[in-house]
Each structure stands twice: as C-alpha cells, then as structure tokens.
Amino acid sequence: MVASTPVDPAVAATIKPFLANHFGNPSSGHWAAAPAKAALEKARGQIAALLGCEDDEIVFTSGGSEANNLALKGVYFARRDSGDHIITTRIEHPAIIEPCRFLERLGARITYLAVDRFGRVDPDDLSRAITPRTILISIMHANNEVGTIQPIEECARIAREHGVLFHTDAAQSVGKIAIDVNGLGVDLLSIAGHKVYAPKGVGALFVRRGVSLEPLIHGAGHESGRRAGTESALLAAGLGEACELARDLDSMGRVRVLRDHFWRELQDRFGNRVALNGDPEHRLPNTLNVSFINCIGAEILKGLDGVAASTGSACHSGRIELSAVLEAMGVTPEVGMGAIRFSLGRGTTREEIDAVTERLSGLPGTAFMAMSAGKTV
Ligand SMILES: Cc1ncc(COP(=O)(O)O)c(C=O)c1O
C-alpha cells in the first residue's frame, strides 16, 4: 500500500530491448536511430490517447516535478510582459508550491486559494482572485495526501472566460480516474511515470497547441523546442506502455470496493475514534486517509512494519506539526496527528487489507481506543 507504483511487468518487458539493443539517438538520421525514434513517437501517441490530445501536445520530462516546473516557470517567463499573477491552492504538492515560491522571489505575485474541510476549492473564490494581471491558474486534479478531486472543469471554464491559462497537476489522478484534457478544458497537464506503473524519472506535460512556453532547459531543439536534451526512448517507451495499460480503469473499480471495505472495517472496529480525511465523494478510488483520533501517526506506522503507508503529521522538537494539506483543511491537531494515508494499488488484495485491519486493532494505542467506548486516550 504505497503511493508510488511498481513497474508493471508489461512495462518492464517493453523497456528491456532498449537496454540491450536499441541504443540509438532518436534525433539522429542514421539506421540506429530508427527504432528509438519510432518508440519515442509511439509512446507520445499512447500518452496522447490516454489524455485525449494530439501527439505533438506531449512533452517528455524527467517526471511530475519537472512537468510542473515547466508549466509554471515556462508560462511565467513567456508571459511576464502581460502579467505577473499566478493563482494556485494551499494544498498543492511541493512541486507546485516551491516553484511558486521561487517565482515570488523573482517578483511574481501568487495567490494560494483556501480549501474547505474536504480539501476542495470553491470556484467562486477562484473567480474573485482573478485580476487583469493573472497569467496562469494551477490547481491540482487530485490531492496526493487525501485524494480529494477538484472541480477542474468548472475552474478551467472560469479561467477560459477570463483568458487565463489553466494548468492541472494530474500526477495522482492519471490511471485512477478518466482524464480527457478537452473534457477538463485545461491548457497544461502534468503526469508522473511512477504513479502509473512506469519507472521513476519520466513524466510528461500536455501543452495545448498554441500555448508557448519558455523552456527550462535550453539547448538543441528537442521536443519541438520545449525541452532540450536527447530523449530517453527507453523511459518514454515505458511511460507509453503504462499509459496504454492505464486506459483500462476496470482494476480501479475493484480497488475502490476494497478501499471502501477497508474503511467500513475500520469504522466497525474503532467507531468514532477514526475520522476520514478528504472528500467522501470526490476522491480517488485508491486513497484512504484516516485519522486515529488522539493517536500519533508515526507511532502507528512503527507498528505497521512492512506496510508502506505514510502519516500526515511530523514531530519537530517535541511538537506535532500537521501537513500543510491537513492544516489547510482545518483538521484539528487531535485528529490530524493520527492521520495515516493508505494508497491501494492494482495488486492489493483483500487478505492484505484484512491483515492490516487486524494489526491496527492489535496495536497498543489503537487497541485501547477500539475497546474504550467514547473515552479519549
Ligand atoms: C501530486 C504530485 N505532483 C507531483 C509529483 C512529483 O512527481 P515526480 O516525483 O515524478 O517528480 C508527485 C509525486 O509524488 C505528486 O504526488
């Protein structure tokens, strides 16, 4: 149960020949380049098919972080003559928040929208935040800690009405829910290989035709001048195959059933001693972020040795600090300090879920909670 995904065996099989044989540079004109170039362009088409866009709207990157950086900095540097204001949210991944902080140091003005207790932004807040100087809005598709899905269609429509570009970080949502860039109405969209059963170190940015970006990496004209550097046909082929597999969302239906079974079991055992973090309805099918009230997340994780879950709180100098996401959602310290995020994958089984439930019930802190009707520990 981990948010990063293993490499799918079919993806590994696709990649393998590139290690042994296909060493060519996709940009070269000679015989060795042909298989690499063909693989790169096939992969571009597979990613485009998943996202519902044209092949030439896909730019390969080194991952989700680079895709986000390219979207934010690329638009800012390309458009700063017409504006300097960017709107994002308080619950973005650091791969959005940190480039925003960097751009603030260069003089950009950034608005960080608040979210409600479920982690959703209010499109009316977005409308009110737009100024004549706004050049970009970046709102994540689904949150990495609590899985909340944002009202992207509505937010992107507002952006379009104001003539502002709209980016979404879809690193968490791709392969878990259907994504269509035209249905969503976005101009830019980031994906990360290692969230979709491809290797780490590869990702992509969808850039709508007509949107110009200043590259982050200047050099030769790779990726139609949007990202210099000889492309890795190997990694691209892996991401392409993973995106092909991700078009079949049936496994996510099964994952949702398992996730809901897990939550029901926890509620049965712990009653009102557990609380769900995130939106009960608008949420990724694989994510369960649950607070064990008045417990400490790190302590629970210690007792879950071998389960790759993570906590939404950290202990600094004896003080418990909640993650920025839980804090922005207004989660209280008593609730947030015991937050654990479980991310289910295609391979997660009911037996594994039931074993984790058993282990949670047997942990000293939580066992007492489970037994003590309504009493705060
Ligand atoms: C929402 C989100 N955006 C961006 C990233 C960064 O992606 P990468 O690790 O491929 O750079 C992640 C990775 O965890 C993520 O969850």
Dump pLDDT digits (tens) for 315-330.
777 778 899 999 999 9
CA neighbor of 359 nearest in space, from 284, 290, 307: 307
Local structure of residue 372 (DSSP, 8 states): S
From the number of C-beta atoms within 10 Å of its C-beta (0-12, 13-18, 19+), residue 253 rates as: exposed
What pLDDT was estimated at residue 375?
Answer: 28
DSSP string, 251-302: HHHHHHHHHHHHHHHHHHHHGGGEEEES-SSSB-TTEEEEEETTS-HHHHHH
Decide if pLDDT at 368 tops 50: no
Structure tokens of 300?
């629970």
Q: How far is the CA of 5 from the centre of ligand 1 (A)?
A: 12
Residue 110: predicted pLDDT: 98
Q: Of the given ranges (64-73, 314-323, 334-343), which has the lowest mean pLDDT? A: 314-323
pTM value > 0.75: yes
pLDDT at 365: 62
N residues, the chain:
377
Cβ atoms within 10 A of the Cβ of 97, count? 18
Is any atom of ligand 1 closer than 6 Å to the C-beta of 83?
no
Q: Is the pLDDT of residue 127 over 80?
A: yes
Give residue 350 CA to ligand 1 midpoint distance, Å: 27
**Residue keyed to tokens 């047997």:** 362
pLDDT in tens, 39-52: 999 999 999 999 99
DSSP string covering 157-205: HHHHHTT-EEEEE-TTTBTTB---HHHHT-SEEEEEGGGTTS-TT-EEE
Distance 212 CA to ligand 1 centre (A): 23
pLDDT of 373 strictly over 60: no
Q: 261: CA distance to ligand 1 center in Å?
A: 27
- Residues marked active site are found at 315
Is 169's C-beta closer than 6 angstroms to any atom of ligand 1?
yes
- Is 172 a pocket residue for ligand 1 (Cβ < 6 Å)? yes
Q: Whose CA is nearest to atom 9 of ligand 1?
A: 64
Task: Tell which atom from ligand 1 comes closest to the C-alpha of 3.
Answer: 14
Q: What is the DSSP string of 230-252?
A: ---HHHHHHHHHHHHHHT--HHH
Residue 5 has pLDDT above 70, yes or no: yes
Of ligand 1's listed atoms, the one at least distance from the Cα of 63 is 10
Does 84 score more than 80 pLDDT?
Answer: yes
Kindly report the protein residue whose alpha carbon is nearest to atom 16 of ligand 1.
Answer: 144
From CA 340, how far away is CA 365, in angstroms rounded? 14
The CA 94 to ligand 1 mean position distance, Å, reads: 8
Q: How far apart are CA 205 and CA 220, in angstroms?
A: 19
Instruction: Write down the pLDDT at residue 105.
Output: 98
What's the confidence (pLDDT) of residue 183? Answer: 98
CA distance 349 to 254: 10
Our answer on whether the CB atom of 141 is closer than 6 Å to any ligand 1 atom is no
Ligand 1 atom 5: the closest Cα is on which residue?
Answer: 64
Which residues on neighbouring strands pair with residue 319, listed in sequence order? 316
341 lines ligand 1 (CB under 6 A): no
Mean pLDDT on 293-313: 87
Percent of the chain with pLDDT over 70: 93
- Res 363: pLDDT: 77
**Probe residue for ligand 1, chosen from 7, 60, 89, 93 as the CB with the greatest number of ligand atoms within 8 Å:** 93
Q: Is 64 in the pocket of ligand 1 (CB under 6 A)?
A: yes
Nearest to 136 by CA among 65, 206, 82: 82
Q: What would the mean pLDDT of 237-261 be, rounded to a whole number? A: 96
Asked whether 203 lines ligand 1 (CB < 6 A), one says yes
What is the number of other CB atoms lying within 10 angstroms of the CB of residue 154? 16
Question: Across the beta sheet with 287-292, what order do the strands follow?
Answer: 274-277, 287-292, 339-343, 310-311
> Quick one: which of 292, 259, 286 has its CA closest to 345?
286
Mean pLDDT to the nearest integer, 184-194: 97
Per-residue tokens: 186: 């976005």
Regarding the beta carbon of 72 and ligand 1, being less than 6 Å apart is answered no
Longest dimension (CA), the chain: 74
366 has a pLDDT exceeding 70 = no
